[in-house]
Amino acid sequence: MRRATFKFAGVLFAALSAVSLSCEKDQSAPLTTSASAATRSVRQEANVTGRILILGSTVTGGHSSREAQAALSLGYPVTIVTPAQWKAMTPEDFQKYNGIIIGDAACQGDTSAVQAAIDNSNIWGAAVDGNVVITGSDATHNGTPQFIENAVSYIVARSRYTGMYISLGCAYQNAAPNTPVPLLKPFGNFTVAG
């Protein structure tokens, strides 16, 4: 089993195999100074349309992917976009979705599959105001379908908010200690060790 270590706002989280993080903050509380500058202070709950958005380069098989199938089984229509389409989206575009998914990209050993999301993390990050799941393993390739179904169910549990599922997959499996994870910047400063 791999060990992943994440540093978030000065607190260390360590786990074996998979790491899940839930942002269960009091939504009425004011933003702290450690919150990302891109995080919006006003929820856009009226814009949510009950759909799921997936960055296509991060899943295997498009609508047949484990992530898309989990969303479809819950009754959510799925929109899969290319990296170019993702990068062209505005915060308002992302706010229309009940869930945003960045999958594990067939256990790719680098961040190329998520580069579009890294490049505009300040844009999509501003739309996320619901439940968040972050996993540090390749759940779709480890025979763990129930984990993905539960994660997708969790991110959409707050129906008027935009939730997020991010799988780091194998992108950081050989990472040196304290390697930054720019994909997670909207949620704080994370580092990993492979």
List pLDDT tens digits, range 119-167.
Answer: 999 999 999 999 999 988 777 666 667 889 999 999 999 989 999 999 9
What's the structural domain count of the chain?
1
Residue 20 lies in a domain: no
> What proportion of the chain, given as a percentage, has pLDDT over 90?
57
State the pLDDT at residue 85: 99
N- to C-terminal Cα distance for the chain?
Answer: 11
Tokens describing residue 1: 């089993």
pLDDT in tens, 62-86: 999 999 999 999 999 999 999 999 9
Residue ranges making up the domain that contains 112: 1-8+62-188
Residue 55 lies in a domain: no
Residue 194 lies in a domain: no
Residue 32 lies in a domain: no
Decide if pLDDT at 57 tops 90: yes
Residue 116 lies in a domain: yes
How many Å separate Cα 93 from the centre of its chain? 16
Q: Which of 12, 5, 7, 104 shows the shortest CA–CA distance to 54?
A: 104
Residue 115 lies in a domain: yes
Residue 21 lies in a domain: no
Tokens describing residue 4: 């992943």
Decide if pLDDT at 188 tops 90: yes
Residue 105 lies in a domain: yes
